[in-house]
Structure 1
Amino acid sequence: MPGSESIESWDYTLYIPNDLRAVTVCRRTLRLILTMHGLIGLVDTAELLATELVSNAVRHTKGPAALRVRRAPEGVVWIGAWDTDPAPPDPPRPLEQVGEAEEEGRGLGLVTACADYWGWRPSARFGDQGKYVWCELVAA
């Protein structure tokens, strides 16, 4: 049937140490994944969102972390950062309340502003309790 092509679904997980340099590794890996799957139009926004999620996971916890990126058959790209802290993230601050010179406090505000949906859920990896903070982008 014309126009009913199925969308390729896939799922990648990159496990990282608690090291701020891992944020760059995640960002570059995400760029490669999206480019190789023909989703270059999502790269800039996805990189920004993944950078915020992964840097929060690395900065605010002491254990390992992970970046997970997947595409659902419906076309949604899901980006999640797992960390070892089971506590929910702080509520996002509206971007207009964050000063331009402030280095912290805007991460989830950016996620809220740029993603189609976002949220968090408890999860376990490496035998530890933790959480995923995630967001979704609809691929056009």
Structure 2
Amino acid sequence: MVTVALPDTWVYALRLPHDPRAARVARTTVRAALNGHGMSEVLDVAVLLTSELVTNAYQYANGAASLRLTALGGGRLRVSVWDANPYVPAPFDAAPGVRPSPAPVDAVNGRGLLLVQAWADAWGGDALGRGAGKLLWFEVGGRAREAWAV
């Protein structure tokens, strides 16, 4: 039996310890994978948004997290972060197109996931049930973004 895969599809998975350095490890991994596969056009956005998801996993879940990078073909990338906390935060808990209210001006947090919503081409989150935690994900590279060219 022969397995055929598109040349621009691939998957990387990384288990991250519950450690404040996990976001840095995730950023380094994303940079290396995307540079190695010639996906520089989505590099900066993917690194930023990955950092946001991994930081939230560290801050709001106890225990390890997992990072998964999946090249979907056509220059598209999906980044998924799993953690053990089943709570799906806003804006990931809302239907697509529903915008949560912004964080107060003097708040020290509450903006990271709004960055994901603003810069990703698609995003979502699911509670996995039965104590299995949640999975938050985003996709980039699926459509032209005028803001990236600024």
Post-superposition Cα deviations, 1:2-36, rounded to whole Å, max 9, x if no partner, equal: xxxx5521011110111111110100110010000
- Letter of the aligned partner of 1:137 in structure 2? V
- Letter of the aligned partner of 1:122 in structure 2? A
Pick the structure with more strand per residue.
1
How far apart are 1:96 and its partner, in Å? Answer: 8.0
What residue is the counterpart of 1:103 in the other structure? 108
In percent, how many aligned pairs have the same letter? 37
Matches for 1:1-140 after TM superposition, within 5 Å: 6-91=6-91, 97-98=102-103, 102-123=107-128, 129-138=132-141
Distance 1:61 1:36 in 2: 31
TM-score by length of 1: 0.82
TM-score by length of 2: 0.77
The list of structure 1 runs, each at least 4 consecutive aligned residues, that deviate by more than 4 angstroms after superposition, is none
Structure 1 unpaired stretches of 5+? 1-5
- Letter of the aligned partner of 1:50 in structure 2? T
Structure 2 unpaired stretches of 5+? 1-5, 93-98, 145-150
Q: 100-109 or 45-54: which moved more?
A: 100-109
Aligned-pair Cα RMSD in Å? 2.6
Distance 1:112 1:39 in 2: 21
Secondary structure class of the residue paired with 1:67: strand
Q: 67-76 or 39-48: which moved more?
A: 67-76
